[in-house]
Amino acid sequence: VYENPNNQKNEFNPAEAVKLLAEAGWKDRDSQGRLVKNGKPFTVEMLYENKSTENFLTIYQQDLQKVGIALNLRLVTFETKVKLTHGGRQFDMAYQGWGANAFPDPESEYHSRLAAQKDNNNITSFKDPHADELMAKYGVSFDANERIALLRELDGVLTSQYHYVLHWQAPFQRLAYW
């Protein structure tokens, strides 16, 4: 009910990615096929903590390589990842189940006042004045329909900023019980 129905759906389109990267100045390639801008290759690092995810992270790495982006996969312990993401914001990308949620309290995940602070849930350092205005209105509204409308608008702002990427998820869950 809180999803903004007008959010743009992002299709997998490597050709469009190459076009957008070229518009941003990433046109030349080095001897390894990486895109280069101002003499520096386009390289990012992704933190991950579970070796079993390598099978599909490697596919993602190969897809990025095809368009000229070098993705370095860095296996770390859970504690190290939390320290680098929540504690120090010292990461390019992190593969994780992030419980970022606009309901029931979007401020703890997305308010600008948390963007530069460590050890909170705004791990992407999201900062947007319009989002802050929406959260302020949401915090004092008691009308359920108005709150839904505010969260839908906030969802539109969050989605348009691309501060996180939704990833592949298996269409099932494994459960064990006794």
Residue 168, pLDDT score: 66
pLDDT at position 96: 85
What's the pLDDT tens digit per position in 59-89? 999 999 999 999 999 999 999 999 999 888 8
Q: Which helix (H) or strand (E) holds 66?
A: helix 54-67
Q: Check if the beta carbon of residue 65 is closer than 8 Å to that of residue 59.
A: no
For residue 99, name the pLDDT band (cuts at 50, 70, 90). low
Contacts of 169 (CB under 8 A, 6+ apart): none
Indicate the residue type of 77. Answer: T
Spatial neighbors of 133 by CB under 8 A, at least 6 apart, are none
pLDDT in tens, 165-176: 777 677 888 888
* Residue range 131-164, pLDDT digits in tens: 999 999 999 999 999 999 999 999 999 999 988 8
